[in-house]
Amino acid sequence: MTPKKGFTLIELLVVIAIIGILASIVLVSLSGTRVRARNVRITADLTQVRNLAELINDDTGGYTVLCDAGVLCITPANCVDNKYTAELNAIGSDINIQNGTDAAAGVPVCFATATHYCVSAVNATSTTTHVCVSDQGQVGDDLCTTDTTVCAPGP
C-alpha cells in the first residue's frame, strides 16, 4: 500500500488560523495610519489657506476678506474683493470631510483684519485638538480665538 499524499485537516486549520491572526494584526496597525493621513491632509489644506491668504493680501492690501463672520469667506457676495471664494469653499469642504464635521458648525474657524489672520480647524484625531495657521507663517496646534492668535508649533 502506498502512503497518501496531502495535508491533514489539522494542518490546514493551523495555517488558516495563522493567516487570520496576521491579517488582523495588519488591519489594526493600518487603522491609525488612516487617521494620521487625514490629519496631514487637514494641515496641507490649511497651508493652502495660508497661500490664498497671501494672494488675497497682494490683491487687496489686507487679509480682511479672507473671513466672513468667523469662518472662511466662501460667499462671493459677502467678500466682493475676494476672488478665491471657490478655492476656499473647496478647501473648507475637504477639511470638513477629513475631520468629520459639518460645514454649519463653522469649521474651519477664521479671524482676519487688514494686518493679521488666523485660521484653525478641528483635527481628525479628536474634537478638542486643532490645527492652526496664521500670518506669522507657522502651522501649529492652537484654536484661533482672534486674528492675532499665534499658532504654537506642533509636536
User: If pLDDT is split at 50, 70 and 90, which confidence band does 15 have?
Assistant: very high
For residue 101, is pLDDT > 80?
no
For residues 85-97, give the mean pLDDT: 89
For residue 105, is pLDDT > 60?
no
| Mean pLDDT computed over every residue of the chain | 84
CA distance 147 to 133: 11
Q: What is the pLDDT of residue 80?
A: 81
For residue 154, is pLDDT > 70?
no
For residues 71-100, give the mean pLDDT: 86
Domains of the chain by residue range: 41-140
pLDDT tens-digit map of 36-61: 888 889 989 999 999 999 999 999 99
The reported pTM is: 0.76
For residue 149, is pLDDT > 90?
no
User: What single-letter DSSP state applies at residue 153?
Assistant: B
Beta carbons within 8 Å of 123's beta carbon, 6+ residues apart: 39, 42, 99, 129, 130, 131
Q: 112-141 burial, b if ≥16 CB within 10 A, otherwise e?
A: beeebbbbbbbbbeeeeebbbbbbbeebbe
CA-based radius of gyration for the chain: 24
Q: What is the pLDDT of residue 4?
A: 73
pLDDT tens-digit map of 113-130: 899 988 988 888 777 778
User: If pLDDT is split at 50, 70 and 90, which confidence band does 145 have?
Assistant: confident
Q: What residues does 22 pair with on adjacent strands?
A: none
Q: What is the pLDDT of residue 35?
A: 82
